[in-house]
Structure 1
Amino acid sequence: MLQEWLLELLTGFGRLFIHPIFYFSFLLAFVVGMFRVTRERKDFHTRVYDIYQEIRFILPSSLLLGLLLSIAAIVSGLTLPLELLNFIAAITIILSAGGFRLLSPAWTIGLALLIFVIFEKIGRPLIPYDGLELGKIIMTMAIILALLLITEGLLIFKRGWQGTSPRLVRSPRGLSVGVQFAQRLWLVPVFLVLPAGELASPWSWWPVISIGSETYSFIWFPFLVGFAQLIKSTLPELAVKATGKNIITIGVITMLLAVAAYWLPLLAIVSAVFAIVSRIWISWRHYAYEKNRHYFFTPQPKGIMILGILPHTPAKKMDLKIGEIIYKVNGMEVNNESEFYEALQKNAAYCKLEVVDVNGQIRFAQGSLYEGQHYELGLILVEEEKEFVSVEK
């Protein structure tokens, strides 16, 4: 029996690499990266991150969470027909036309669940499920929705605020001001049980939520989780982590409703509706909050604020942070671009900055420079005269 299970797990593992969503995720990340680089070059005459930045985050951050979800799914025996999983994939591809923003599980899986139920109610089923229990299928979808919603919140909280892209927008007063745009795409591969195959149930209680099948197989199915958020009034870390916490909360509530559907099946549909409405509310709440707040990345009365930091530059090695304000460079006060350049050239081999961090505390950052690097510190600064200038050309 153990040999059969291992063989099925290996077969399920291999199915990941023949699923179109696996390759589509990398293509989508590449295309979004192209648009981001184009926007950065337009705003700052340089790219902040290369075109592969979004691709780098697709798997490393989500593999551990996918493994944990897989263990939970295999132990409980979460079972869905392959046709229904492919329907979720189709909804995902359609929603990806809006970029990463619409790829929350609340919308990809929640909409798939509601569409599936609606067509069942009108007597025109979309997915064949001969011999399987409709109520248990819907409940399983609701549980998977809740698990992935919690996963989305955790990924956003841990990784969503890292590597945000600076942008220029037009303020209500007609001035160019800086904002941060956070966007990420994660591929979360999860082992699920298919109600067809050669694997017999090894225990009387497995699967916990039986949909009426007697033989099973495995699939390592790739779920796409996307996120995009524009931040103008505060630091990206604060805004994005708040969003992540809110999504985790609605994920937990969705899970409670989905589990309760074991006794009251209607709650499975209620959980999907709750997830969709709550996720929309989180996005709207952030938009409404930001709409009436002042811009954070604006010219300062004293010093110059950091809007962006280019990777692999002296500024990155000095551990400078976006939102910090540079007061002095090599002992000279700086309040604009020309003063910044002049102070950097004062010492072509070494750079010492006096910086006010995001908590209002003064600290010093320093580092060695090589020939020519005093012009290429690697900072994008909030500049005076209604414009933003990149220090690195």
Structure 2
Amino acid sequence: MALDWLMQLGAAAGKLLLHPIFYFSFILAFIVGMFRVTRERKDFDTRVYDIYQEIRFILPSSLAVGLVLSLIGLTLGLALPADLLSFIAALFIIFSIGGFFLLSPAWTLTAAYAVFFLSERLGYSFISYESLKMSAILTILAVLTALLVIAEGVLIRKRGHQGTSPRLEISKRGQKTAVHLARRLWLVPVFLPVPASRPLDSFADWWPIIPIGAESYYLVLFPFLIGFSMTIRSTLPELAVQSTGRSVIFAGILALLIAAGSYWVWQLSAIAVLFAAVARIAITRRHYSYEKHRPYFFTTQPKGIMIVGVLPGALARKMGLVIGEIITKVNGIPVHTEPEFYKALQKNAAYCKLEVIGKNGQLRFVQGSIYENEHHELGLLFAPEEKEYMDDSVFSD
């Protein structure tokens, strides 16, 4: 039996490469990366990250999450019909039209639950599930939704704030200001048992069938797409994103507790998925409401210039400079604008010393060698200077 399970796991892992969603996720991330680079060049005359930045986050951080979910799913016997999994994959593609934002499992899997339930109730069934009861499928969908919402929160909290992209936008006062866009796409592969209630030749003749209890099942490594997108205006990206991640985790845990009750009262499964969807919307609305009543964070500073971006591999990154810090002096010269910053750098074309107010509010000193006439000599992007745009105001409070 152990050898059969190993064969199943190995075959499922290998055949993941044949699943359309696997390739779709990379294509989607590549397209989003192209648009991001175009926007960064328009705003800052340079790209911050290369076109493959979104692709780099698709798998590495989500493999461990997928492994944990696989262990839970196989232990609990979270078996779903192959037709339903195919429908969920189609929903990923449809929801992706709205961007990464709509790929939260709180919405994609809730939509799958709603369509499956209504189609059965209205007599328009399009999913074959001979060896499972409808109530069991709904319970499993609810549990899986809650587990994936928890996984979404974990990924947001751990990885969502890394590599955020700065952008410029016009404030209500008609002034240019900088904000940060956190956008991620994760592919979470999860091993799931699929009932083998009909011949497999028409679906996947390379899957050996393994017996689990009184039923026969085969394993699939199903790629769940989880997307995340939020714009941060009033605080540091790390703080806002991690706060959102914690809230999503908490919402997923509550949804899981409700879903667990559906093992005895299946109607609770509907409440669980509805709660997950409403809670996810509430978390998003809370973020926007919070920022609506607070001033922009990346703006002109009275004591220096604020860093809004650090180019990868640049000297500034090696010097330990990060976004949100304020440079007050360059080579002993006070600076308040970007032109003053670069003029002060020329005082010593081969070396610079900076006085910086860190994110903790403490003053520190950094220094390093630079190269004369190098474009973006330190690799820093700064918040726009408000006074340049006050005469061009097109908005009013």
Shared fold, TM over 0.5 = yes
Distance 1:367 1:69 in 2: 46
- For the 8 Å contact 2:79–2:140, the answer to whether it is kept is yes
Asked whether 1:87 is paired with 2:59, we answer: no
Structure 2 unpaired stretches of 5+? 197-207, 390-397
Summarize the alignment of residues 296-307 of structure 1 with structure 2, pairs less than 5 Å apart: 296-307=297-308
Q: 2:211 aligns with which of 200, 211, 215?
A: 200
Distance 2:343 2:363 in 1: 22
Asked whether 1:168 is paired with 2:174, we answer: no
Give the Å deviation of 1:75: 2.1
Distance 1:246 1:29 in 2: 25
Distance 1:66 1:95 in 2: 21
Distance 2:28 2:335 in 1: 42
Distance 2:310 2:376 in 1: 14
TM-score normalised per structure 2: 0.93
Q: Secondary structure at the match of 2:67?
A: helix
Give the Å deviation of 1:337: 2.0
Which stretch of structure 1 is more off in the superposition, 75-84 or 320-329? 75-84
Q: Secondary structure at the match of 1:62?
A: helix
How many residues are aligned here?
378
What whole-Å deviation, never above 9, does each CA across 1:54-112 have from its counterpart, x for those lacking one?
Answer: 00000011111111111111222210011101111111110000110100000111111
Distance 2:128 2:252 in 1: 29
Partner of 2:33 in structure 1?
Answer: 33
- For the 8 Å contact 1:341–1:375, the answer to whether it is kept is no
Q: Secondary structure at the match of 1:234?
A: coil
Structural RMSD (CA): 1.4
Distance 1:135 1:42 in 2: 53
- For the 8 Å contact 1:157–1:244, the answer to whether it is kept is yes
TM-score normalised per structure 1: 0.94
Partner of 1:336 in structure 2?
Answer: 337
Q: Structure 1's 214 and 164: CA in aligned 2 closer, same or farther, altered over 3 A?
A: same
Partner of 2:119 in structure 1?
Answer: 119
Give the Å deviation of 1:383: 3.5
What whole-Å deviation, never above 9, does each CA across 1:247-295 have from its counterpart, x for those lacking one?
Answer: 0001001111111101111001110111111111111111111112110
Asked whether 1:12 is paired with 2:12, we answer: yes
- For the 8 Å contact 1:176–1:386, the answer to whether it is kept is no
What is the identity percentage for the equivalent residue pairs of Structure 1 and Structure 2? 58
Distance 2:375 2:186 in 1: 37
Distance 1:290 1:178 in 2: 14
What amino acid is the match of 1:340? F
Give the Å deviation of 1:239: 0.5
Give the Å deviation of 1:9: 1.4
Which stretch of structure 1 is more off in the superposition, 363-372 or 30-39? 363-372
- For the 8 Å contact 1:12–1:217, the answer to whether it is kept is no
Distance 1:276 1:184 in 2: 19
Structure 1 unpaired stretches of 5+? 205-212, 389-393
Asked whether 1:23 is paired with 2:61, we answer: no
Distance 1:362 1:284 in 2: 36
Distance 1:385 1:255 in 2: 48
- For the 8 Å contact 2:177–2:386, the answer to whether it is kept is no
- For the 8 Å contact 1:114–1:272, the answer to whether it is kept is no
Partner of 1:216 in structure 2?
Answer: 217
Q: Secondary structure at the match of 2:69?
A: helix
Give the Å deviation of 1:14: 2.2
What whole-Å deviation, never above 9, does each CA across 1:130-189 have from its counterpart, x for those lacking one?
Answer: 232111111111111111100000000011011111011111110001101000000000
Q: Secondary structure at the match of 1:271?
A: helix
Q: Secondary structure at the match of 2:366?
A: strand
Asked whether 1:279 is paired with 2:284, we answer: no
Partner of 1:209 in structure 2?
Answer: none
Give the Å deviation of 1:6: 1.5
Partner of 2:203 in structure 1?
Answer: none
Partner of 2:250 in structure 1?
Answer: 249
- For the 8 Å contact 1:185–1:227, the answer to whether it is kept is yes
Q: Secondary structure at the match of 1:58?
A: coil
Give the Å deviation of 1:126: 2.5
Partner of 2:2 in structure 1?
Answer: 2
- For the 8 Å contact 2:131–2:195, the answer to whether it is kept is no
- For the 8 Å contact 1:177–1:386, the answer to whether it is kept is no
Partner of 1:207 in structure 2?
Answer: none
Q: Secondary structure at the match of 1:17?
A: helix
Q: Structure 1's 133 and 374: CA in aligned 2 closer, same or farther, altered over 3 A?
A: closer
Distance 1:368 1:70 in 2: 49
Summarize the alignment of residues 55-74 of structure 1 with structure 2, pairs less than 5 Å apart: 55-74=55-74
